[in-house]
Structure 1
Amino acid sequence: MPSLSQLSLTARLTLFFTSLSCVVLLSLGWLIGASIDEHFKEQDHHALSGKLELAQHIIERVNSEQDVRNLADQLGDALVGHHDLAITILDNQNKVILASDVVEFPAQYLQQARTQSRSTLFSWEAKGDHYRGLVSVFNTKDQRYAPITVAIATDIAHHQEFMASFRKTLWLFVFVAALLTGVLAWFAASRGLRPLRIMRERAAKVTASKLNQRLSIEAVPPELADLAHSLNQMLARLEEAFQRLSDFSSDLAHELRTPISNLMTQTQVSLSQARDAQSYREILESNAEEYSRLARMIADMLFLAKAENGLSLVNVEQVDVVRELKDLFEFYEALADERKIHFDLQIDQSNDAGVLIQGDRLMLRRALSNILSNALRYTPEGANIGIHLQQQSACLEIKICNPGTTIPAHHLSRIFERFYRADHARQHADGEGSGLGLAIVKAIIDGHRGQITASSDNQLTCFTIHLPQSN
């Protein structure tokens, strides 16, 4: 038999509503049964109390021995026609004045009556029959004959027959109602869960070539609207990620094809005829350059692959950003002087302690180097590259701007993607750069819990970095 966790949602709901209806019906039946039983008790108490009042009226007029002997006849005549009643009368010596042949009263109740000021309804069983009775003690007109005990009871077999029939009918009704509720609950659950089946069918149609499928939020109940919205967002993320992966695969194949084709062509040409040692050296040097380019590209791809799973900062230390920038200025000084480009560094800080942040110095140096290299590549000859540092609340802003061709706005959102170039015409003629530089920059900044944005307007392109000053 399957466990509850293995049952379908329809079966669970059906079982739940069926069980709930059974509990409600049984509780209602118990309440009605208890109310009917209590009603029978009150009815019997009222009837027996009436008979006791009649006996009290007769007993209170007893004034002689003869009146005591006449009590049996008087009370016997008063109960003529009440075949379900039984009576026992005891005098002040506990001698029987009148006793019905139907039933014998329990002695304990007869004894308790003399010590209690108020009679209490009680029940007992005798010879397979059930009775309910009252016992009271009355005074006579002549106190010499007092007190006289009167016990009166009624057979409650007809009440029990009714309750037995009622319980049988109740169980039958609960059984039928449970079956009917189960059928209705299954139907309601099946209809109610139909939107989920529709969502499953739509989700089953989603494949690698059909990631544009979306669930209709208007066609599902409000309770499932959030689920449908979340699934649509997931599909959108998957479509975007798959598209990026597809573009990355295409770009990767394109980037690798060119150097490999160059190597194959150059090698085949060199092998087509005998050459001198100098020619072979030149060919090997050219091949070495292509191999170096491939090695850098593979290393960058491995770095980005690791960054996707969370970039690990190996050496976290205090980094003086100004010092790192000045070291990079010296590194690029020859190239900058050749093109008459000047680095303009501006620092806004409230103290003289330097611009310090917590991070991995080599990674931050690589990120700043990639941006400066990119700026040098596209800055016109004789122009200036502006670097502005500003300390803000709990973070440092680094802004690097270079003049040059404006990048269209629709390219800026993708400028940090792998192998993406806003304009292939912006690629340097010497073939430098693989399109991974800015992707690596973003991975490093993200690893430092920072943020980098790009803007380009009026022939001025700026990269703005925000880094927290504590990690």
Structure 2
Amino acid sequence: MIHKLSLTARLTLFFTALSCLVLLSLGWLIGASIEAHFEEQDHHALSGKLELAQHIIERVNTEQDVARLADQLSEALVGHHDLAITILNNQQKILLASEAIEFPQTQLQQALKSAQKSPHQNVTPALFSWETKGEYYRGLIAIFATKNPAYGPITVAIATDIAHHQAFMASFRKTLWLFVLVAALLTGILAWLAAKRGLRPLSLMRDRAASITASKLDQRLSLDAVPPELAELATSLNQMLARLEEAFQRLSDFSSDLAHELRTPISNLMTQTQVSLSQARDADNYREILESNAEEYSRLASMIADMLFLAKAENGLSLVKVEAVDLVQEVNNLFEFYEALAEEKQIRLQLNLSDETSTIVPADRLMLRRALSNILSNALRYTAHGKSIQVQLQVQLWQHTQYCEIKICNPGPSIPAQHLPRLFERFYRADHARQHSDGEGSGLGLAIVKAIVDGHRGQITVSSENELTCFSILLPVGG
């Protein structure tokens, strides 16, 4: 199993590596600058000696001058123990060789070739370095013409021992590596302390979040104790906790309501069964008890079916068959279905439709009929005798999309405003004034309506004032 590094460890390693890289880059730059300075210093010193040798060689005119040339150059280098010089005549024979230094033959040949190509020009010699017998040297080679061409040209090779330079650079590199090592350790410790301190608010948020349980969902993270960079995270976590608290409360209420709804029919079934078994009865009594039990079973089956439908809707309602549905025809069909109940309660069902309204929408016919039926049955249940239920169809433009609005209004007891936002929750009832003693309805009808409307990418709202309750459904006209 791969062990993941903590954020503190990652920041520590990052800053340590970054500091090492910066120090090494700085050390390399300083080292290169020092090396370049040493080369420039050696080049300047060797060039000065070459100019001195050139001044002496250019005055050679006779054989006696050639014979005295070595002595003159030796005298010119007195006191410069770190310098070595080799002088060759025009036949490449050694006239003078101080110290037992062998100059690279390749460099000598290159100097001769350059002189042959430009016999009348002074070619600026290039500084070069080499190693011989474990010693390091840096030198220049130049070829000078004499006053008498018969005794020239003369090759002068001059070099200086750079052992002290090498020793200095070796010591510098050793010091640099030691400094980088110590700096890396110190940077790592400081980076760890800084990261630990900088991430302290995260640790506090973690401890605070760990203390939040199902019974303490009302707690929130303090925004005053976190830096601005973490304020948005803390705000998002607080919003998430608020959503969880709300969802948990709804789930708790739903569980309580569900237990209450199931307890009544089950209690009725148990009571009737126990009473029927308490003594012998005739066939008519048993038939009556069974019929009553069948009604309770039917109510339980309907409630379970509705709950399964809502459970599926939470994971995305599947529209089995989407087709072009004429809302006018569907509303009229529902009017015919509820005609007998409406006549019994002396309630009029009216459809208001303007001529320009487009009533064709893409929808699942059975699901849409179920949603409209649930709202219309609720309207019939709470509308007083002699009143009328109004159904209005019209086109609305909402968020740049054309919708067909189905508005169902019925007169009756108004729903308090504080109950309206929760009216589409499962088993939620506004108040006892809108419930009947006959126990009709399971409290799932409006929740099913909202699930169906959401599945059609529509919107549903409700308003209730002045003893008039209106449900408004917006369905997109386009597919």
Q: Secondary structure at the match of 1:318?
A: strand
Alpha-carbon contact 1:349-1:391 (below 8 Å) kept: no
The structural deviation recorded for 1:349 is 5.0
Distance 1:294 1:282 in 2: 19
Q: Secondary structure at the match of 1:6?
A: coil
1:170 is aligned to 2:176: yes
Q: Which consecutive residues of structure 2, in runs of 5 or more, have no partner in the other structure?
A: 115-122
Q: Secondary structure at the match of 1:104?
A: coil
The structural deviation recorded for 1:141 is 2.1
Give the aligned partner of residue 387 of structure 2.
Answer: 383
Which residue, out of 45, 57, 62, partners 2:55?
57
Which residue, out of 356, 361, 366, partners 1:362?
366
Give the aligned partner of residue 267 of structure 1.
Answer: 273
TM-score normalised according to structure 2 size: 0.95
How many residues get paired?
467
Which residue, out of 403, 426, 431, partners 1:423?
431
Distance 1:463 1:187 in 2: 62
1:347 is aligned to 2:353: yes
* Residue range with higher mean Cα deviation, 358-367 or 341-350: 341-350
- RMSD between aligned alpha carbons? 1.4
Q: Percent identity?
A: 76
Alpha-carbon contact 1:113-1:137 (below 8 Å) kept: yes
The structural deviation recorded for 1:10 is 1.1
* Residue range with higher mean Cα deviation, 451-460 or 339-348: 339-348
Amino acid at match of 1:293: R
Give the aligned partner of residue 316 of structure 2.
Answer: 310
Distance 2:373 2:106 in 1: 108
1:373 is aligned to 2:381: no
Amino acid at match of 1:440: I
Give the aligned partner of residue 206 of structure 2.
Answer: 200
Distance 2:247 2:15 in 1: 44
Distance 2:351 2:311 in 1: 33
Distance 1:94 1:454 in 2: 114
Alpha-carbon contact 1:90-1:98 (below 8 Å) kept: yes
CA offset digits 1:316-341 (Å, max 9, x no partner): 11111111110000000011111221
* Residue range with higher mean Cα deviation, 103-112 or 117-126: 103-112
Give the aligned partner of residue 4 of structure 2.
Answer: 6
The structural deviation recorded for 1:269 is 2.4
Give the aligned partner of residue 292 of structure 1.
Answer: 298
Alpha-carbon contact 2:325-2:361 (below 8 Å) kept: yes
Alpha-carbon contact 2:413-2:433 (below 8 Å) kept: no
Amino acid at match of 2:332: K
Amino acid at match of 2:310: L
Give the aligned partner of residue 401 of structure 1.
Answer: 409
The structural deviation recorded for 1:374 is 0.5
Consecutive aligned runs of 4 or more in structure 1 exceeding 4 Å deviation: none
Q: Which consecutive residues of structure 1, in runs of 5 or more, have no partner in the other structure?
A: none
1:74 is aligned to 2:72: yes
**1:33-48 mapped onto 2 (5 Å cutoff):** 33-48=31-46
Q: Secondary structure at the match of 1:314?
A: coil
Q: Secondary structure at the match of 2:36?
A: helix
Q: Secondary structure at the match of 1:149?
A: strand
Alpha-carbon contact 2:463-2:470 (below 8 Å) kept: yes
Alpha-carbon contact 1:266-1:283 (below 8 Å) kept: yes
1:453 is aligned to 2:434: no
Alpha-carbon contact 2:458-2:475 (below 8 Å) kept: yes
Q: Secondary structure at the match of 1:114?
A: helix
Distance 1:240 1:107 in 2: 91
Which residue, out of 122, 125, 128, partners 1:119?
125
Distance 2:301 2:416 in 1: 32
CA offset digits 1:113-142 (Å, max 9, x no partner): 233222110111111101100011112222
